[in-house]
Amino acid sequence: MLSINNYLFDELLLQIFHNLSVHDRHRCRQVCKRWNEILINCVLLMKDFNLYFDDFLTLRDVEILMRSNLHFEKISFGENIIRCLPTFVLHDLWTKLGKTVIEIFIEYCDNEEYFEMLKLFPLLKSLRINSQILDFPEDFKLTNLENLHVSLFELIKNENGLLESFPNSKSIKYDEIMHDESKLEVLKSIQIRPSLWKTLHWFDDDPLYINFQETFLKLTDLQLDHFEYSAVTDIDFLIKVIQKHPGIKNISLVLQDAEITLKEPLFDKITSLEILHGNPFLLPYELINLKSITALVSGFCTIEHTVQVAKSIEELNLHFSDLTCVECYNTLMNNYPNLKEIALYFDGSSISPVEIPKLIQKWKKLVSLTTMFENESSEIILTDHSCDTQIHENLEALVLLSNDIHELGNILQFVPNLKRLEYVLKPSFGYKNLPNNLANLPELRKLNITIMTNYNYCAISKDGIQKTLKAIASFSKKIKELRMPIFFEYRGDALGAARFLFESLPKLKSIRFDSLCADVNEEYFERL
C-alpha cells in the first residue's frame, strides 16, 4: 500500500493543514515523523504548538527542536525530563526555548536542577508545579514571574521566602491547604497584599478565621478567582463576603451541617457544592451556576420521585450509603442530562450496578465514569443491558473499581477515544475478549487491571495472557502506563514480558505486573 507521503508535495500538505481545524491538525500529526518535521517548521501553524515534554526525551528530539523555526510560548514537563540527557545538552535547548517561553507547567519538581533550568527562561510569567517539597534556594529569583500555582500550599517549604523569590508576582494559587501554620501565613500575606492571592480556603469554625473576619471584610483590593468556604455553623459570614466582595468569580461551598439552609444572595454565586450531611437533592433550583456536586446519599426514600432537571451540573461525585430505593436512584440519575464526569460509590446499598450500560448511553457528553461497589456479589447482569451500536466519542476514562470490563458487554467497541481504562479482573471472564477489543482503543494511554485476593485465578488461561500481551504491543501504541496480572514466579519471568512491551511500545513509561501465582506479589519496571 502506498503512503500518502509518496505523492503529496510538502507545499500542498501544508496548505491542507492550514485549512483544517486545530483539533484535526493535532490528530493528523500522528501519521508519521516526516509530517511532524515539516509541521514543526511551518510558521503558518505556529499558534497550534504548546510544547509538551513527556518523561522521555531523545537526542533526535533535541536536534529537531534546535533546528525548528517555531517560537513556543508554553511548555509542559513530565516527571523525569531532567534526567533524560546530560545537563549540558539540555542547557542549550532550554536557552533556545527560553527566548520566547512565558508559561511552564512542571508535573513533578524534586530536583535543584529544575530551579537552575528555570533561570534560563528570563521571560517566564506563569509557573505551575505539582511537587512533593518546593524548597526555593535563597538566591533563587524570577523577577518577571507574575503567576504561581502549586498543588498544596504546604509543599512550599520556605513560605516566608516566597515573595522574595518572585518579587514581582501578581497572582498566587493553591489547590489545598491543611496546616495551621500555613493558614496563618496566607492570612498574614493576604492582609498585606490582598490582590496577590487568587485562591482562599475559609474555615468558619477555626479561631484563626473567626478572628480575621472583620479584617477580611475591610480589604479593598481583593481579587480572588476561587473562594472555598467550609460551613460548620452557618453561612452568614459567606453572605457578608459576597455582599462586600461581589467580584469573586467562583465560590465552592462545603456544608458540614444538615441544618444549614441556602438562601439569597448565594443562588447565582455558588459553582461547586460539597454536602457532608443532609440531602443533596433538595436544593434550591435557583443555583443556576452550580457545576459540581459531591455528596453522601443515604437513607430510605430521601427524595421525592420527580425528575427536576439541573442542566448546569457537569460533575457528580456521589457516595450511596444504605440506599435501598431503586426509584430514588433512577430519579437522581435522570436529573442531570449534561454530565461530563461522574463517580458513583455504593456502600451498604442494595442498588445493583446493572444500570451502568444504560447510564453511559444516557449521558451523551460524558467524558469520565468511575464506579465502586462494596458488595462482593454485585456483578453486572448483562442479559439485556449490552450497549447498543451508538459511538460514545466523548468518553475518555472508564474506571471500574470493583467490576470486570466484560460485565459491560460490548462497550469497548464503541469508545474510540478512550484514554484510561481501569477494572478488576474476574476469573469468570479472564482475558478472553480484551485482545480483540484493544484494536478498538487506539487512543489508550493507561490500562490498569487489578486483582482481588478473594478470587481464585488459577483457571485463567496462560495462552489468553500471551494473546493479551501481543495485542497490547500491536494496538496500544500510545500507552504510557500499564498494570496487569500475569503468571510468574520470579522477576526474570516477568522481565521478559516487560522487555517485549518496552521494545514494542516507545511511549510506554512504566509496567507493573501482579502475579497470579501464590506467595508472589508484584514486579515493577520503568523505562530508563
Instruction: Say what the pLDDT of residue 10 is.
Output: 57
Contact 335, 309 (CB under 8 A): yes
Residue span of the structural domain in which 110 resides = 50-176
Q: What is the mean pLDDT of residues 382-408?
A: 75
Q: With 50 as the cut, is the pLDDT of residue 410 above it?
A: yes
Q: Is residue 445 part of a domain?
A: no
The pLDDT tens digits of the residues spanning 21-58 come to: 656 665 665 555 566 666 555 544 555 456 777 666 77
Task: Give the range among 3-12, 80-89, 414-423, 464-473 with minimum mean pLDDT.
Answer: 3-12
Same domain for 57 and 34? no
Q: What is the mean pLDDT of residues 382-397?
A: 67
Q: Is residue 27 part of a domain?
A: yes
Same domain for 90 and 23? no
Same domain for 57 and 112? yes
How many structural domains does the chain have? 2
Instruction: Say what the pLDDT of residue 512 is.
Output: 93
Instruction: Say what the pLDDT of residue 382 is.
Output: 38
Strands 446-450 and 74-77: unpaired
Q: Which residues contact 472 (CB under 8 A, 6 or more apart)?
A: 438, 447, 479, 482, 501, 505
Q: With 60 as the cut, is the pLDDT of residue 355 above it?
A: yes
Q: What is the mean pLDDT of residues 417-433?
A: 91
Strands 171-176 and 199-203: unpaired
Partners of 273 in beta bridges: 253, 293
Q: Is residue 447 part of a domain?
A: no
User: What CATH number does the domain containing 153 carry?
Assistant: 3.80.10.10
Instruction: Say what the pLDDT of residue 297 is.
Output: 75
CA distance 258 to 290: 19
Same domain for 62 and 43? no
Pick the most confident of 6-10, 295-299, 307-311, 370-374.
Answer: 370-374
From residue 43, give the alpha-carbon distance in Å to each of 14, 25, 29, 66: 10, 14, 16, 15
Q: Which three cell numbers stand for residue 58?
A: 531523545
Q: What is the mean pLDDT of residues 506-526?
A: 84
Same domain for 60 and 27? no
Same domain for 118 and 55? yes
Q: With 90 as the cut, is the pLDDT of residue 397 above it?
A: yes
Instruction: Say what the pLDDT of residue 13 is.
Output: 64
Q: Which three cell numbers stand for residue 232?
A: 460548620
The pLDDT tens digits of the residues spanning 442-460 come to: 999 999 999 887 778 888 8
Q: Is residue 286 part of a domain?
A: no
Partners of 526 in beta bridges: 510
Pick the most confident of 179-188, 199-208, 274-283, 405-414.
Answer: 199-208
Task: Give the range among 90-94, 293-297, 495-499 with minimum mean pLDDT.
Answer: 293-297
Same domain for 171 and 55? yes
> Residue 178, SS3?
coil
Same domain for 160 and 54? yes
Residue finishing a domain among 176, 191, 213? 176
Q: Is residue 74 part of a domain?
A: yes
Q: Which residues contact 220 (CB under 8 A, 6 or more apart)?
A: 194
Residue finishing a domain among 176, 204, 227? 176
Q: What's the predicted TM-score (pTM) here?
A: 0.72
Same domain for 153 and 169? yes
Q: Is residue 381 part of a domain?
A: no
Instruction: Say what the pLDDT of residue 251 is.
Output: 92
Instruction: Say what the pLDDT of residue 381 is.
Output: 40
> Residue 528, SS3?
coil
Closest CA to 522 of 500, 481, 497, 490: 490
Calculate the dihedral angle through the C-alpha atoms of 112, 116, 122, 125, rounding to the nearest 10 degrees.
Answer: -10
Instruction: Say what the pLDDT of residue 383 is.
Output: 36
CA distance 182 to 203: 13
Q: With 90 as the cut, is the pLDDT of residue 81 above it?
A: no
- Band (14; pLDDT cuts 50, 70, 90): low
Same domain for 55 and 81? yes
Q: Is residue 91 part of a domain?
A: yes
Instruction: Say what the pLDDT of residue 489 is.
Output: 76
Q: Which three cell numbers stand for residue 26?
A: 493535532
Q: What is the mean pLDDT of residues 161-188?
A: 79
- Band (471; pLDDT cuts 50, 70, 90): very high
Q: Is residue 282 part of a domain?
A: no
The pLDDT tens digits of the residues spanning 169-182 come to: 888 888 777 677 77
Same domain for 160 and 67? yes
Q: Kindly state the helix (H) or strand (E) to which residue 474 belongs, with its residue range.
A: helix 462-475
Residue finishing a domain among 127, 159, 176? 176
Sheet of 51-53: strand order equals 51-53, 74-77, 103-106, 126-129, 147-152, 171-176
Instruction: Say what the pLDDT of residue 15 is.
Output: 65
Same domain for 172 and 79? yes
User: What CATH number does the domain containing 31 carry?
Assistant: 1.20.1280
